[in-house]
Amino acid sequence: MIAGIRYLWPLLVAIFLMSIGNSLQGSLIGVQAALANFSTSTTGIIASGFSLGLFLSALTTPNAVRAVGHIRVFAGYASVLSTAVLLIPLFVDPVWWFLMRLVIGMCAAGLAIVVETWLNEGASNKDRGKVLSLYMLLFYSGAGIGSLALVIDDPSGFTRFIVVSAVMSLSLVPIVLTKVSAPVLGAPRFISISEIFKASPLAVVAAIANGLCQSAFFNLGAVFGVMNGMPLSYVSLMMAVAPFAVILSQLPVGWLSDRYDRRLMIAALSALSAVLAAAVMFVPASQAFLLIALVALFGGVSMPLYSLAIAHANDQLNKDQMLAAGSKLILLYGMGAIAGPSIAGGYMQQFGANGFMLYMVSVFGLLAVYASYRMTMSDVLSPDETGDLFPVTPMATAVTAAAVAKEMEESAADTTSGDDNLN
C-alpha cells in the first residue's frame, strides 16, 4: 500500500489542491453575491451554473481525453479555470458570474474526471478500496481547509479570487510530474435510467435528492451564515466543520450499512438530517458555536447518504450492470445539483435565512418517508448479498462510481471465495 501511494502521490496532491480551490470559490461566490446585494434567488441561479457545468463536462470530457490525451486536457482545463476565477470580480453582474461559474464547473469536473481515471487505473485491485478511502479523506480535508480560507483579509475584493486561481494552477504541477501511465477510457455497458429505477427506485430518488441538497449546502451555506448575521470568521468555520465531520462519520455509517438494511439506513439518516436542519432554525445567531456544532452534525449525517444510494443500487443490480449504473446515477445527482441552489435560493427569498434549512427539512423529510415506504415493498437483503460501502464525494464523476462498483464486485468475490474455502 505504501509503495502504491508513493507512486500515486502526484495525483493525490492534485486532488487535495483542487478540493481546496473548489471549496473556497464555491463559498466565496455566495459571500460576494450577498455583499453585492444580489437576491438569494439570483445567487442560487448563479450557483447552479457550476452544477450545470459539471453536468455538461461529464458528457464532453471523455471525448476530449480520447482526442488529445489526459495531460493536455488537464492543462487546458486548469488554465481556463484559473482565468475564469480571476475574471469573476471584473464585473459585478449576475449574468457574468453565472457564465464564469458555468465555465468553472465544466473545467472542475473535467479535472476530476482526468485525475480520478488516472488514480483508478494506477491503483491495484488489492489497494483500490484504500485509495478510494484516501481520496475521500483528501477531498473532504481540502474542502474544509478551502472554507477556512474565507477569513483571508481582502480589502480589494480580488485577493481571495487570486488565491483560488493560484491553488488551481498549482494543481497542474503534480500532474505534469506524475509517472503514472495515462489510462484508456473505455465505454461501459449501457443501462437505462428506467432499468435502474425498476431495480432500485430508492437509489434513483436518493441520488437526485442528494444532488438537490449537497449542491445547495456547498454553494449557499455561506449565504445562510451571512444572512444570519454571523461574522465571516464564523461563516468560514461553519462551512469547514461539515466536511471534516464526514471524515469521522463515514466509518460508523459504513459499518452499520454493511450489517443492516441500507433502506433503513437511508431512512434513518434522512430523518435525522431533517431533524438537525429543523433544530438549526431555532438557534439564534448569538449562539454561533451551537449553530456551528449542529451544522457539523448535519453534514456528518447527511453527506454519506450519496454513498449509500450508490451502494444500494449496486446491491440490486447484476455485476455487469454496476459500471454503467454508476454513470447514470452520477448524471441523476447532477440533475438534482443543477436545480438545488436555485430552489434553495427561492426558499431563502421567501422565508429569509431559515428558508435554507427549511429547504433541507423538506427534501430530507420526503426522502425519509419514501425510503420507509420502500422498506415495505420488498424483503431485506442479507449482509452476504450486499457489498461493502465505499465513500463517494459530492463532486464524484462516473469514474469514481466505476471504481466503487469494481471494488464492491471484487469485495463480494473475495467474500464468496473465502466462504467456499471454509466449506
Task: Say which residues have a Cβ less than 8 Å from residue 35's Cβ, sequence separation at least 6.
Answer: 226
pLDDT of the residue at 422: 47
**pLDDT grade for 323, boundaries at 50, 70 and 90:** low
Evaluate whether 136 touches 391 at the Cβ level (below 8 Å).
yes
Of 94-108, 135-149, 252-266, where does the model show the most confidence? 94-108
Task: Say which residues have a Cβ less than 8 Å from residue 89's Cβ, sequence separation at least 6.
Answer: 32, 157, 158, 161
The CA-atom distances, in angstroms, between 272 and each of 208, 346, 367, 372 are 18, 24, 11, 13
Phi-psi region of 283 (alpha: psi -120 to 50; beta: other; left: phi over 0): beta
| Residue 418 host element (H or E) | helix 398-422
According to the 3-state scheme, what is the secondary structure of 38-90?
Answer: CCHHHHHHHHHHHHHHHHHHHHHHHHHHHHHCHHHHHHHHHHHHHHHHHHHHH
Task: Say which residues have a Cβ less than 8 Å from residue 284's Cβ, sequence separation at least 6.
Answer: none
Domains of the chain (ranges; CATH) run: 2-422 (1.20.1250.20)
Evaluate whether 408 touches 322 at the Cβ level (below 8 Å).
yes
Q: What is the pLDDT of residues 400-422, one digit of tens each?
A: 555 555 555 555 555 545 555 54
Q: What is the pLDDT of residues 59-96, one digit of tens each?
A: 787 778 778 777 788 888 888 999 999 999 889 999 99
What is the rounded distance in angstroms from the CA atom of residue 192 to the CA atom of residue 72?
32
Q: Out of 89-93, 130-134, 372-376, which region has the weakest mean confidence (pLDDT)?
A: 130-134
Q: Out of 56-60, 118-122, 186-190, which region has the weakest mean confidence (pLDDT)?
A: 186-190
The fraction of the chain above a pLDDT of 90, given in percent, is 29
Q: What is the pLDDT of residues 201-236, one digit of tens each?
A: 998 999 899 999 999 998 899 999 999 888 888 999
Question: What number of CA atoms fall less than 13 Å from residue 177's CA on the CB side?
Answer: 14
Q: Out of 168-177, 303-312, 375-384, which region has the weakest mean confidence (pLDDT)?
A: 375-384
Say if residue 128's pLDDT is above 70. Answer: no
Evaluate whether 84 touches 22 at the Cβ level (below 8 Å).
no
Q: Which residue has the higher pLDDT, 128 or 346?
A: 346
pLDDT of the residue at 196: 81
**pLDDT grade for 1, boundaries at 50, 70 and 90:** very low
**Angle made by CA atoms 198, 200, 205, in degrees to the nearest 5:** 105
**Angle made by CA atoms 412, 333, 215, in degrees to the nearest 5:** 125
pLDDT of the residue at 263: 87
Say if residue 286's pLDDT is above 80. Answer: yes
Q: Which residue has the higher pLDDT, 249 or 102?
A: 102
Q: Which residue has the higher pLDDT, 259 or 246?
A: 246
- Name which of 299, 308, 307, 306 is nearest 265 in CA terms: 308
How much is the average pLDDT of 114-142? 71
- Mean pLDDT score of the chain, rounded to an integer? 80
What is the rounded distance in angstroms from the CA atom of residue 93 to the CA atom of residue 333?
28
pLDDT of the residue at 375: 86
**pLDDT grade for 179, boundaries at 50, 70 and 90:** low
pLDDT of the residue at 183: 54
**How is residue 162 written as a grid cell?**
487570486
- Torsion angle of C-alpha atoms 63, 68, 73, 74, degrees rounded to 10: 120
Say if residue 100's pLDDT is above 50. Answer: yes
